[in-house]
Chains A and B, each alone.
Chain A
């Protein structure tokens, strides 16, 4: 969407142009005030005005010149870079699969970008071979250095490179950046760390990395959405990270929520019992996340069934919604009376969730829903049951 070169220089140039405008303008205002108090003669004031005009014009010339030059240069440069990158991708592929000898280092920018592109695409043994090439040319080291210091934009670019390279040895540095004062860098570092962890082979290194990653997610108070996103990137390392998030010494509510989301998304059967234990948690977001995890896994452990039924009457609306969705997994004779009751809930969303859950509970649920459409004491409950029947293709109430 954006061209990623020349903008930092443009920013500096704008700083100069604005100074060229603002400083003389401030002087002019001051001198006009003096003129108003008859402390300054008109010719002197006029000379200041001429200077301000000239200075602003110079700023304009600089900016216009840069923009015009950028327009011309960027077209050619991009074409050249694209062609070189494509040629390098083809060459790396030949090196990988046809035994062509690798070039001597160091690599120029198109060659390095092409190598990282190839690394991004290839997995398994071939991916590891590309990773060796990345190490051999010192790209990881260079990216690590650039990610640690410099302008925000350069550091973000370096983190993107590290996310493509996915080298386990870079994980500690990237995890450390999750605590950077710049929010954009923290978010990018969390994403990059998640990608690297996914590529780290099972063993003590991954376990240590998972613990450090989980601790960083909790300690640096990253937004819940970012924590969830980063967790979804860790793939096979998810169980270790989730275990730390749910029960680690620094467990936070945002971390627990994210862990529960991951349990549901990755269908982590080993963490099912733990997830169920959070249905009665004090934080409603955590309760809802636990219920969502159970609904996604399509199973409620026997010990948690009572808690799910209780959650159907939770004082918080969105918890009741998720409890209704999980309740469809309970025995109909236990769930249906509770869901029938929720058809009369003051919240439209709860009524909707209850009706949908009933519609998904086989013939017993459908029969109860038909009955509700005709005889539920709450008018809104009857309407909702009728609509759920129609939406599910279960026919009309009568």
Chain B
């Protein structure tokens, strides 16, 4: 077989891959958008008022794993405690922190030791002590030996009292109304095991009393690019997968789960750095195996605000970790791949994640390498390559613009028309720069799947009252 045939075959493969991926993206964009439109009208202000007045809601335990968060933990916990939700508790777990995380919590919230007995349904690393607050009866702090995020979540899960649990990142803010809207999905459908919500970047936002009161475009472009990414991923991708009952990811920044369901499948798995995806896959799998009808739902309402990396190094570490986590989870649940027993999950969602999310960076990097090789050997059709690149960029930008367009329908949106132009520019930059850079990072991560390190995440922290984040 000549080199020319191989090259031509590869080109055809890349184009077919590109066309399939874009066709899927386009399809899910349309379906996702329809889901958002219907959802946005399905619970009116009147309905929300009725829910509150008739006390038709399920109480929530907010689970906050923390490791060496002495700088931000007090502000985070304050923001969770100020959540205007009728009945909730906050369970913070200091996962063997080696800094002053526990001390600052004790000082800020007047914590005292609590000889509480609770069901340790899931084994965890030893719990040293449990503390409760003299000021906030709904705050519980667990001090335990280091075991990683999943282990900390399991410890919090054991201590949680309420039927719904919400694992959150300690650098996130929650929207009170959105939490109420998300919890209603459990009331409306007995089959719902978990609900994911839209996460939006907090960077640049002005906060007051633990709430986002004004959105401002962040200064750094790397933060703006992530606004585009998040809008596309949540408003289109996840909303689209939900429509098909095949949502595989609920963001670790915020998710709502039925406590008994998570305990029933053995809690969060400590063998992955992406426990948020793994628990959803396991919930699907175990429910299917036991023949129980179940739903993993998604609400397009922006429930959670999270600080996104503001420098390239941290962003690359984060994406490296996400990709390693993705592969670990796909491999652990490889029996779901193309397995009709798992319905749309096995025949559509899991193959998509293998082919386009897992192997995507390899195909992409191989494509760039082929491009370079063709240029070096003088076999490159420059005009064709440039046109193809333009098509790839335009398709990416179109998709991003649809996602960003959905954001414009939110009451709390980036307010100025110039913000829209900035996001358009960010969409172009994201398709022509960041995407390639992150493809390389994810490519590298593919060969480091076994590594369990989290990597240092540099954070600016939740802003002081009235100040913009980031």
**B234 CB, nearest partner CB in chain A, Å:** 14
Are B411 and A195 closer than 8 Å at their CB atoms? no
In this assembly, does B128 line the interface, its C-beta being within 8 Å of a C-beta of chain A? no
Are B54 and A233 closer than 8 Å at their CB atoms? yes
Interface residues of B (CB under 8 A from A): 8-9, 11-12, 15-16, 19, 22-23, 26-27, 29-30, 33-34, 36-42, 44, 46-47, 50-51, 54, 56, 115-119, 177-178, 181, 186-190, 301-302, 381, 383-384, 387-388, 390-391, 394-395, 397-398, 401-402, 404-405, 408-412, 415, 417, 420-421, 424
Which residues on the B side are within 8 Å of A29 (C-beta)?
A: 15-16, 19
Which residues on the B side are within 8 Å of A60 (C-beta)?
A: 394, 397-398, 401
Are B420 and A67 closer than 8 Å at their CB atoms? yes
The number of residue pairs between A and B whose CB atoms lie closer than 8 Å in the complex comes to: 185
| Residue of B54, B397, B420 touching A71 (CB-CB under 8 A) | B420
**B174 CB, nearest partner CB in chain A, Å:** 14
Can you list 19 A-B contacts with CB-CB less than 8 angstroms, sorted by A residue number?
A1-B302, A1-B410, A11-B30, A15-B30, A22-B26, A25-B22, A25-B391, A53-B387, A56-B394, A57-B394, A60-B401, A160-B46, A184-B38, A187-B42, A223-B190, A226-B188, A228-B56, A229-B51, A383-B117
| Residue of B37, B50, B421 touching A195 (CB-CB under 8 A) | B50
Which residues on the B side are within 8 Å of A184 (C-beta)?
A: 38-39, 41-42
Which residues on the B side are within 8 Å of A32 (C-beta)?
A: 11-12, 15
A window 193-249: CB within 8 A of B:
195, 223-226, 228-229, 232-233
Interface residues of A (CB under 8 A from B): 1-4, 6-8, 10-11, 14-15, 17-18, 21-22, 25-26, 28-29, 32-33, 36, 42, 45-46, 49-50, 52-53, 56-57, 59-60, 63-64, 66-68, 70-72, 74-75, 120, 152-153, 156-157, 160, 163-164, 184, 187-188, 191, 195, 223-226, 228-229, 232-233, 348-349, 383-384, 387, 390
Given A21-B395, A50-B387, A387-B117, do A3 and B51 touch, yes or no (CB 8 Å)?
no
**B225 CB, nearest partner CB in chain A, Å:** 17
Are B395 and A2 closer than 8 Å at their CB atoms? no
Which residues on the B side are within 8 Å of A22 (C-beta)?
A: 22-23, 26
State in angstroms the CA–CA spacing of A224 and B188 once bound together.
7
Q: A10-B33, A11-B34 are in contact. List 14 more A-B contacts (CB 8 A).
A: A1-B302, A1-B412, A2-B41, A4-B40, A18-B27, A21-B398, A67-B408, A153-B38, A184-B39, A184-B42, A188-B42, A195-B50, A225-B187, A229-B50
Are A1 and B40 closer than 8 Å at their CB atoms? yes
- Which 3 A-B residue pairings sit nearest by Cβ, starting from the closest? A225-B187, A348-B119, A2-B40
Secondary structure of the B side of the interface? helix
**B150 CB, nearest partner CB in chain A, Å:** 22
**A259 CB, nearest partner CB in chain B, Å:** 15
Are A7 and B40 closer than 8 Å at their CB atoms? yes
Which residues on the B side are within 8 Å of A49 (C-beta)?
A: 384, 387-388, 391
**A178 CB, nearest partner CB in chain B, Å:** 14
State in angstroms the CA–CA spacing of A70 and B39 once bound together.
20
Chain A residue at minimal CB-CB distance from B384:
A46
Are A1 and B181 closer than 8 Å at their CB atoms? yes
Chain A residue at minimal CB-CB distance from B54:
A232
Are A59 and B15 closer than 8 Å at their CB atoms? no
Which residues on the A side are within 8 Å of B181 (C-beta)?
A: 1
State in angstroms the CA–CA spacing of A150 and B314 once bound together.
49
